[in-house]
């Protein structure tokens, strides 16, 4: 009988802002949106008491990272002003850091100055940049200077137009390989080593693009970096099932399971408890011997 190991056999840790983040096994990133126009209303938290309760819920239910976004990037959206984004993040982080001073916090921003201010004021740990430095040329240098972990996501176009008939010159996984190769090299030349790659499900991709990426997700392990899957309640689920984001939890769990089995090491989700159960069951499944 052959007994298999963990699902994720890459690096064991990430170092960010002086903290070691254990990634020897898959982990959960829980979402807190402090916007008023997220595509899934259940992730919106704008009152301080609710923000604190949501952060506590993420940690209690098995989340390792709290990801906070203050500028909607849903399809068709326009970004809020930087001052508004900073004000929203400050309101959220002031209560979270007070109650959970050691929590691992990621901010979902494409603005280098926002990352700088939030690091200075609240000691954030990770920058989650949907634009991979394309929307702010200072982002890579800022992340390097602050010694933060960085989520490098692929997006074609901008949130305003990314879902208007997205097309690729080459097969999509080949295009993403070229994209990540170039961006990772740029980051490493600046001294950024703690990089997480995110193929950007739903960001400039149609249904076929998304499922092709999911089916070939394991191939991105060639970069020997953690892979983040942000599938939670997205249109690739509810459009295929002819439903809506509020009814897409079951489909999310199905695709999160596939993502973990195909090499994802971080699940970015709205529903932390269910994602943690996906990881626990898939880890147990993969550990069983083949007869």
Q: How far apart are the first and last CA of the chain?
A: 5
Distance (Å, rounded) from C-alpha 1 to C-alpha 285?
15
d(CA 102, CA 82): 26
Cβ atoms within 10 Å of 212's Cβ, excluding its own: 16
Q: Is the dihedral of CA 212, 214, 218, 224 positive or negative?
A: positive
Q: If you ran DSSP here, which 8-state letter would residue 44 be given?
A: B
Q: Could you list the active site residues?
A: 234, 268
Q: What is the 3-state secondary structure (H, E, C) of 77-112?
A: CCCCCHHHHHHHHHHHHHHHHHHCCCCEEEEECCCH
Phi, psi at 174, each rounded to 5°: -65, -40
Residues with Cβ < 8 Å from 49, sequence gap 6 or more? none
Are 236 and 207 in contact by the 8 Å Cβ rule? The answer is yes
The CB density around residue 108, as the number of other CB atoms within 10 Å, is 27
Q: How far apart are CA 197 and CA 128, in angstroms?
A: 10
Look-up of token digits 């990037």: 73
**Which of 28, 24, 29 has its CA nearest to residue 5?**
24
């Amino acid at each position: 009988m052959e007994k298999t190991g963990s699902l994720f056999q890459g690096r064991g840790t990430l170092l960010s802002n002086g903290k070691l983040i254990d990634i020897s096994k898959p982990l959960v990133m829980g979402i807190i949106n402090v916007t008023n126009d997220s595509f899934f209303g259940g992730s919106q938290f704008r009152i301080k008491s609710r923000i604190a309760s949501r952060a506590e819920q993420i940690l209690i239910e098995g989340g390792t990272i709290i990801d906070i976004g203050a500028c909607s990037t849903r399809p068709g959206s326009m970004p809020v002003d930087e001052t508004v984004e900073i004000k929203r993040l400050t309101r959220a982080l002031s209560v979270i850091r007070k109650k959970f001073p050691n929590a691992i916090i990621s901010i979902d921003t494409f603005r280098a100055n926002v990352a700088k201010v939030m690091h200075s004021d609240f000691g954030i740990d990770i920058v989650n940049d949907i634009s991979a430095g394309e929307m702010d040329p200072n982002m890579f240098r800022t992340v390097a200077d602050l010694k933060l972990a960085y989520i490098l996501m692929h997006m074609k176009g901008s949130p305003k137009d990314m879902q208007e008939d997205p097309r690729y010159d080459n097969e999509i996984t080949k295009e993403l390989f070229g994209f990540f190769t170039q961006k990772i090299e740029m980051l490493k030349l600046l001294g950024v080593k703690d990089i997480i790659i995110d193929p950007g499900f739903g960001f400039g991709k149609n249904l076929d693009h998304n499922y092709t990426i999911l089916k070939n997700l394991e191939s991105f392990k060639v970069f020997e970096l953690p892979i983040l899957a942000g599938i939670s309640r997205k249109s690739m689920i509810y459009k295929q099932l002819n439903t809506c984001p509020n009814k897409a939890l079951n489909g999310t769990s199905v695709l999160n399971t596939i993502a973990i089995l195909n090499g994802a090491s971080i699940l970015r989700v709205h529903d932390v408890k269910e994602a943690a159960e996906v990881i626990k069951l898939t880890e147990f499944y993969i550990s069983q011997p083949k007869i």
